Amino acid sequence: MRVIVKEDHRAPVVASMVWYRAGSMDEFNGTTGVAHVLEHMMFKGTKAVPGGEFSRRIAAAGGKDNAFTGKDYTAYFQQLHKSELPLALKLEADRMQNLILTAEEFGKEINVVMEERRWRTDDKPHSLVYEQLMATAFRAHPYRAPVIGWMNDLQNMSVGDARAWYQRWYAPNNAILVVVGDVEAKRVFELSRKLFGDIKPHPLPERKPQTEPEQTGTRRVTVKAPAELPYLMMGYHAPVLRDAERDWEPYALEILGGVLDGHEAARLNRELVREQRLASSAGAGYDSVARGPGTFLIDGTPSAGKSVEELEAGIREQIQKIVEQGVTEEELKRVKAQVIASEVFSRDSMFYSAMQIGSLETAGVSYKSLDTQLKKLQDVTAEQVQAVAKKYLTDDNLTVAVLDPQPLEQKQAAQPPKGLRHAN
């Protein structure tokens, strides 16, 4: 198991995270959602630490714990006083190898997960639109399936599926321990060696390349769901960071995202919301860190009296302006300052620092490249921003998902399912 420690002595606290390089992209057809289901089951106990006792012990020590599942990973964390780090690591080492999975507990928890799917996705039109956009944009890559899984797969899942996932991926040689806080790295290494050192690694399944075929035409999908307003989402295939030193396109795409969204003067907000009044809201998003292919997203809600077709035309016009005219140096300077300031300020959080390290490492990018990444962002030119817009924000690379609002049913607002205790 790899152990990464970042010392931060500003306060006597620590953030501890165990990251498993196994997320929804590693699932097989028919068992989508199993990574997230296993995350739930990891709190069901071991012989030494019965179900529910893990979190009670962390709380009794004055800390808090949680977990989350993504496309690329599953992670478990604790935030607590530095003196309680041995407790957190001991508990994690125990459930890495000794988890008890019973049909009875699985039967209870799978119902919680299905209700979570209803609450997070089925009852939320924008979530349904995103789910369908991804399922349409990706034909071969497992990113096409939602992290929480398709309902039919959840309904037919068994405790054996969860057990197989645990046995396949939960091993020290597929895990990264990240500790950030008021600690001494040497002592953390010694402690982790003591607590995790006797856990035997096992061979991991071969990870075969899963390359998405090139898209050769715009794809469209319409989602009908009860909602007050229509909604538009546009997704473009885009590269992600693979070599922090040599790559430049992911950095230019990050800056492009800042040009379109992220502040009052950003183009989508200024042009489409305030000036043209085409949209009540509009935004853009791009994440350069992923094990699989990237997606550059643009979304928006049309203003009253405006259609999604008009909004899409307005977004296309803004993209075309960048493709043809580029961005100004003043605009570039402002966006860089905001993007970089946000990045620097976020490092003040021990938790975010641990998140950043873990997400980079599970994606195969060294956390040691963080300063390089900041410098590369600063070095992005206006010509590079224009170039990535021209290369990637094209019709042949585009998937459009539209929400067609249906009459709202008279029902109570959806509430979080009972037993939901984690984020994902």
Residues with catalytic function = 39
The residue written with tokens 């960048």 in the block is 322
179 vs 174: CA distance, rounded Å: 17
Structure tokens at 134: 């991804």
Pairing of strands 398-406, 219-226: parallel
Give Cβ neighbours of residue 73 (< 8 Å, ≥ 6 apart).
19, 20, 21, 22, 23, 358, 359, 362
CA distance 177 to 196: 10
Exposed (0-12), middle (13-18) or buried (19+): which is 354, by Cβ within 10 Å?
Answer: buried
Contact call for residues 170 and 20 (beta carbons, < 8 A): yes
Question: How far separated are the first and last CA of the chain, in Å rounded?
Answer: 23
The closest of 173, 185, 183, 218 to 85, measured between CA atoms, is 183
Q: How far apart are CA 5 and CA 176, in angstroms?
A: 11
> What DSSP state is assigned to residue 10?
S
The whole-angstrom distance between residue 109's C-alpha and the CA centroid of its chain comes to 23
Q: What is the DSSP string of 177-198?
A: EEEEES--HHHHHHHHHHHHTT
Nearest to 397 by CA among 334, 319, 311, 308: 319
Dist. CA 210–CA 398, nearest whole Å: 20
Q: Which residues of 11-34 are buried (b: 16+ CB within 10 A; e: fewer)?
A: eebbbbbbbbbbbbbbbeeebbbb
Give the tokens for residue 313: 């035309």
- What six digits make up the tokens of 356? 């950043």
